[in-house]
């Protein structure tokens, strides 16, 4: 068990052994990552931001909505409220007007103002660089914290969104019943130095090829290894 796995307080190998028949062999993992890289060399964070505060805000705003729709509202939002200090003074109803085209905009407006106030009052206007402090901020959960640590602080992290969850389980990299199990499974099986890159590659693969309803297996370089494809759409 590695150090990060130990932080979860359970033995990852137990989960892995239990699900061994639903996992691809370790020997195929580097091939999978290489082929994902071949298919998606452009894979990267798709959100637009200029500072850690703006990264945190954009990731928080992207919950249950697309990065494209977030990128449409953040230029105006960040022009008007570029810093935690400025956003802390904002009227949430004004933020609502700016971000009203994205899902859950009312809650997100309250949260972005509240988290800015907390950044100013508790963290000197800086985004904290550790997981425990990040998830104390209003509207910030595990996935958002992991993306901020990876993109904003260069930490090795795997944030599991709907694409990472679906694609990892289909391929057989993992067999997790929820995002946390998939995160643990990926951390157990992938080299730590490739966690952040794998996160982007799996997201892009989910967006562009391995669609939720109709995966394009005929044009996927992983088809010969992917358990979902080999099992006729079941795994
Ligand atoms: S073979 Fe099909 S199910 Fe498997 S990763 Fe590729 S597109 Fe997804």
Considering the domain boundaries, does residue 33 fall inside one? yes
If asked whether residues 81 and 118 sit together in one domain, one would say: yes
Token pair for 146: 């992991």
Looking at 14, 48, 143, 214, which residue is catalytic? 143
CB count within 10 Å of CB 135 equals 14
Closest by Cα among 69, 91, 87 to 78 = 87
Q: Are 135 and 145 in contact (CB under 8 A)?
A: yes
**Nearest Cα residue to atom 8 of ligand 1:** 210
Which of 153, 180, 202 is the C-terminal boundary of a domain? 153
Which of 153, 187, 214 is the C-terminal boundary of a domain? 153
If asked whether residues 19 and 56 sit together in one domain, one would say: no
Positive or negative, the CA dihedral 85, 88, 93, 95 is positive
If asked whether residues 201 and 169 sit together in one domain, one would say: yes
Between CA 193 and CA 80 the distance in angstroms is: 37
Between CA 224 and CA 196 the distance in angstroms is: 25
The more confidently predicted of residues 14 and 206 is 206
Considering the domain boundaries, does residue 172 fall inside one? yes
Domain that holds residue 226: 3-43+158-230
Q: Is the CB of 210 under 6 A from ligand 1?
A: yes
Q: What single-letter DSSP state applies at residue 169?
A: H
Q: Is the CB of 171 under 6 A from ligand 1?
A: yes
Q: What is the pLDDT of residues 92-140, one digit of tens each?
A: 999 999 999 999 999 999 999 999 999 999 999 999 999 999 999 999 9
The domain tally of the chain equals: 2
Which of 120, 153, 186 is the C-terminal boundary of a domain? 153
pTM (2 d.p.): 0.88
Q: Is the CB of 215 under 6 A from ligand 1?
A: yes
**Domain of residue 99, CATH code:** 1.10.340.30
Ligand 1 pocket, mutate which of 23, 164, 165, 170 (most atoms under 8 A from CB): 170
Which H or E element spans position 61? helix 52-61
């Amino acid at each position: 068990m590695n150090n990060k796995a130990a932080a979860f307080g359970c033995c990852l190998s137990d989960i892995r052994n239990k699900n061994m028949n639903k996992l691809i062999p370790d020997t195929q993992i580097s091939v999978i990552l290489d082929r994902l890289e071949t298919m998606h060399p452009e894979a990267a964070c798709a959100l637009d931001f200029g500072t850690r505060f703006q990264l945190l805000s954009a990731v928080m705003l992207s919950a249950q909505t697309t990065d494209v729709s977030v990128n449409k509202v953040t230029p105006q939002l960040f022009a008007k409220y570029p810093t935690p200090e400025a956003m802390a003074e904002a009227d949430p109803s004004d933020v609502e007007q700016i971000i009203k085209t994205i899902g859950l905009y009312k809650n997100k407006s309250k949260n972005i103002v509240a988290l800015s106030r907390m950044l100013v009052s508790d963290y000197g206007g800086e985004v904290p660089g550790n997981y425990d402090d990040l998830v104390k901020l209003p509207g910030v959960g595990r996935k958002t914290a992991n993306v901020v640590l990876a993109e904003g602080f260069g930490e090795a992290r795997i944030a599991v969104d709907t694409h990472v969850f679906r694609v990892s389980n289909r391929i057989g990299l993992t067999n997790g019943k929820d995002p946390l199990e998939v995160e643990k499974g990926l951390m157990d099986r992938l080299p730590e130095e490739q966690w952040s890159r794998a996160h982007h590659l799996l997201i892009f693969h989910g967006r562009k090829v391995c669609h939720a309803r109709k995966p394009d297996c005929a044009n996927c370089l992983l088809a010969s290894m992917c358990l979902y494809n080999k099992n006729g759409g079941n795994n």
